[in-house]
Amino acid sequence: MLDIKNLHVDFVGMRGRTEALKNIHLSLQKGEILGIVGESGSGKSITALSILGLLEENAIISSGEIIYNGRDLLQLKPNDRQALRGKEIGMVFQEPMTALHPTMKIGKQLLHVIKQHRNISTKQARELVLQALHDVHIDHPELVAKKYPFELSGGMRQRIVIALAMSSPPNLLIADEPTTALDVTIQYEILNLIKELNQKRGTSVLLITHDLGVVAKVCDRTVVMYAGEVVESGRTKDILEHPFHPYTQSLLNALPDLTEPTQPLKAITGESPSLLHRPSGCAFAARCYKKMEICNSNHPTLSTVNDSAHQAACWLERAVL
Instruction: Read off φ and ψ for residue 253, nearest 5 degrees.
Output: -65, -25
6-57 tens-digit pLDDT: 999 999 998 889 999 999 999 999 999 999 999 999 999 999 999 999 999 9
Q: Which residues contact 301 (CB under 8 A, 6 or more apart)?
A: 23, 313
pTM: 0.91
**Cβ-based neighbour number of residue 258 at 10 Å:** 6
SS (H, E, C) 75-119: HCCHHHHHHHECCCEEEECCCHHHHCCCCCCHHHHHHHHHHHHCC
224-248 tens-digit pLDDT: 999 999 999 999 999 999 999 999 9
Q: 217: closest CA among 175, 189, 242?
A: 189
Please report how many Cα atoms fall inside a 13 Å half-sphere around the Cα of residue 80, on the Cβ side: 8
pLDDT at 321: 45
3-state secondary structure of 37: strand
Domains and CATH numbers, the chain: 2-88+168-257+264-320 (3.40.50.300)
pLDDT at 135: 87
pLDDT at 306: 75
170-195 tens-digit pLDDT: 899 999 988 876 778 888 888 888 89
Answer with the residue of higher pLDDT: 318 or 34: 34
150-162 tens-digit pLDDT: 999 888 898 899 8
Instruction: Read off φ and ψ for residue 11, nearest 5 degrees.
Output: -120, 130
Under DSSP, the state recorded for 210 is S
Q: Which residues contact 77 (CB under 8 A, 6 or more apart)?
A: none
Q: 127: closest CA among 154, 176, 99, 167?
A: 167
CB 137, CB 175: distance < 8 Å = no
What is the average per-residue pLDDT within 82-104? Answer: 87
DSSP per position, 223-275 = EEEETTEEEEEEEHHHHHHS--SHHHHHHHHTS--TT-TTSPP-PPPS-PPPS
301-310 tens-digit pLDDT: 999 987 778 9
Answer with the residue of higher pLDDT: 181 or 129: 129
